[in-house]
Amino acid sequence: MQTVASTSQLILAKVLDEIVQRIAKKVAEGKKLSDQEIIILYLDQVLKTVESRFNEVDKRFNDVDKRFEEVNRRIEDLKQYIDKRMEDTNKRIEDMKQYIDKRIEDMNRRMEDLKHYIDKRMEDTNKRIDDTNKRIDEVSKKIDSLESRLNIVYNEVLSIKTDIIKMMKEYMEERYGKPKE
- Residue 181 has a pLDDT of 63
| Structural element, H or E, at residue 58 | helix 35-176
pLDDT in the model for residue 4: 66
CB atoms within 10 A of CB 23: 19
pLDDT tens digit sequence for 116-128: 999 999 999 999 9
Closest to 44 (Cα-Cα) out of 5, 17, 14: 17
Q: What CA–CA distance (Å, rounded) separates 47 from 58?
A: 16
Residue 14 predicted with pLDDT over 70: yes
| Residue at 166: amino acid letter | K
Q: What is the pTM of this model?
A: 0.45
Tens digit of pLDDT for each residue in 51-93? 889 889 999 999 999 999 999 999 999 999 999 999 999 999 9
Max intra-chain CA distance, the chain = 206
